[in-house]
Amino acid sequence: MYLTKEEERTLSGEDGETLQKAIEILVALGDIYGADRLIPIKSAQIAGVSYKTIGDAGLEWISDLEGKVKVPSILNPAGMDLVRWNEMGITPKFSQKQQKIIAAYEKLGVTPKCTCTPYYLDNFTLGYGDHVAWSESSAISYANSVLGARTNREGGPSALSAALIGKTANFGYHLEEKRKPSVSVTVECNLSGSDYAALGYLIGGDVGSRVPLFFLQNEPEGDELKALGAAMAASGAVALYHVDGVTPDARKMTFGKPDENIIIEEKQIRGVYDRMPDEAKRGADVDMVALGCPHCSADELAHIARLLDKKRVGKDVWVCTSREVAEHYPQFVDKIERSGALVVCDTCMVVSPASENYKLMMVNSGKALAYVPGMCKVPARFGSIEDCIKEALKGSGDTDGNGN
């Protein structure tokens, strides 16, 4: 792999131990995957933030690093709302550790914005062909597929290394030839809203880490594509997908239709909604409704606010979003919270330990449906946003969920 003189100097340790380790990681990955060189990146999004997932070992590792990131860099969701953690039932001990992790990243020049939807942040936008090093699987999928940017599935350490060097190794999805689809998925029914999350949940296992090209009956919107990609990245390992005639690569690049074609029928999509965990079959009630996986957009917050307007929820409800989106739209946050639901920033139902205290969760996300049972040890049911709000209103006297 070709290195510039400056990169060679960093690799030899002349710029300090942290940068030496960082470039060693990038060069090792580049050598394994056949990169020809390092390429500049526009931004980094760094996973490995929640104290629940990285623990004391991770905190120690980050705290020992020195230097400053060279490109705008933000963080994946933490284990708690950094301001209202006590309202979530987080312990002071956990909070203290979590704040130390955030402070350690800040010392490295990382902006302490904790979200899996960095593309909604001011000053963090991406254009077609931009190279980045992002490490949250749904954000990677959105950047590659919906925005036409280029990122590999970075791990936390490799994304942080890329941020510190300002570059990443040129392989995988940074190269046009690796972005071509290798399997088609033909959906034979119309889809809307959470159907896309159900489709992603359904198809991820079959697609694995390949690049699918979807042929859909109708044109999805941004939030629907976000839900599709997030679910496929969780039930499979899909980092890039195309939708014929819709996503930017499918419009700008020419590629033939792959030989293998998976057909999806309406009854398969309905089957995801009908799945009942054993606990629900035995009569357990939903005691938590969690929305916002990936973090809610302004449109999703507005929709939830309309559904909850002048209503009262009868169980715990989390609406997860980024702090910046919440701060931009206080009118939606107020409406949602007047119902008794909590707008949770900086974290989510999967990476926070607070969601482990429930018996049965209802979600509108294929990613949460895939991860909550394993990572939180809480069984989960799937429904549309409307289904979830109806469930949330049960026991409160408000039951229509239409916001009328």
**CB under 8 Å to 269, separation ≥6 — which residues?**
189, 191, 195, 198, 199, 202
Paired residues of 318 in beta bridges: 290, 342
Considering the rule CB under 6 A, would residue 44 count as an interface residue with ligand F3S? no
Tell me which of 367, 379, 385, 391 binds ligand F3S, using CB under 6 A. 367
Q: Determine contact, residues 381/287, Cβ cutoff 8 Å.
A: no
In the region spanning residues 193 to 252, those forming contacts with ligand F3S, defined by CB under 6 A, are 230
Tell me which of 90, 207, 313, 351 binds ligand F3S, using CB under 6 A. 351
How many chain residues touch ligand F3S (CB under 6 A)?
15
In the region spanning residues 45 to 84, those forming contacts with ligand F3S, defined by CB under 6 A, are 77
To the nearest whole angstrom, how small is the minimum distance from the Cβ of residue 138 to ligand F3S? 4
Closer residue to ligand F3S (CB): 23 or 350: 350
Closer residue to ligand F3S (CB): 213 or 234: 234
Q: At what angle do helices 385-393 and 298-308 cross, to 10 degrees?
A: 40
In the region spanning residues 126 to 155, those forming contacts with ligand F3S, defined by CB under 6 A, are 136, 138
Q: Determine contact, residues 389/380, Cβ cutoff 8 Å.
A: no
Provide φ and ψ at 167, rounded to 5°. -145, 165
Tell me which of 350, 362, 388, 392 binds ligand F3S, using CB under 6 A. 350
Tell me which of 38, 49, 320, 354 binds ligand F3S, using CB under 6 A. 320
Burial readout 116-139 (b: 16 or more C-beta within 10 A, e: otherwise): bbbbbbeebebeeebbbbbbbbbb
**Which span sits near ligand F3S by CB under 6 A: 182-190, 246-254, 271-279, 287-295?**
287-295
Considering the rule CB under 6 A, would residue 288 count as an interface residue with ligand F3S? no
For 375, half-sphere exposure in the C-beta direction (CA atoms, 13 angstrom radius) is 19
Closer residue to ligand F3S (CB): 183 or 320: 320
To the nearest whole angstrom, how small is the minimum distance from the Cβ of residue 327 to ligand F3S? 18
**Which span sits near ligand F3S by CB under 6 A: 169-177, 280-288, 311-319, 367-375?**
367-375
Instruction: Please name the residue that has the structure tokens 């010392």.
Output: 107
Walk across the sheet containing 242-243 and list its strands.
242-243, 212-215, 183-187, 261-264
Closer residue to ligand F3S (CB): 181 or 379: 379
Q: Which of 157, 111, 163 is nearest to 132 (CA)?
A: 163
**Which span sits near ligand F3S by CB under 6 A: 169-177, 199-207, 292-300, 335-343?**
292-300
Closer residue to ligand F3S (CB): 75 or 307: 75
To the nearest whole angstrom, how small is the minimum distance from the Cβ of residue 103 to ligand F3S? 21
In the shown chain, the binding pattern of residues 248 to 277 toward ligand F3S, with x for contact by CB under 6 A and - for none, equals ------------------------------
Q: Determine contact, residues 37/67, Cβ cutoff 8 Å.
A: no
Q: Please tell me the distance from the alpha carbon of residue 78 to that of residue 82, in angstroms, as a whole number.
A: 8
Helices (H) and strands (E) in the chain, counts: 16, 14
Q: Which residue ranges make up the site for ligand F3S (CB under 6 A)?
A: 77, 116, 136, 138, 230, 293-295, 320, 348, 350-351, 367-368, 371
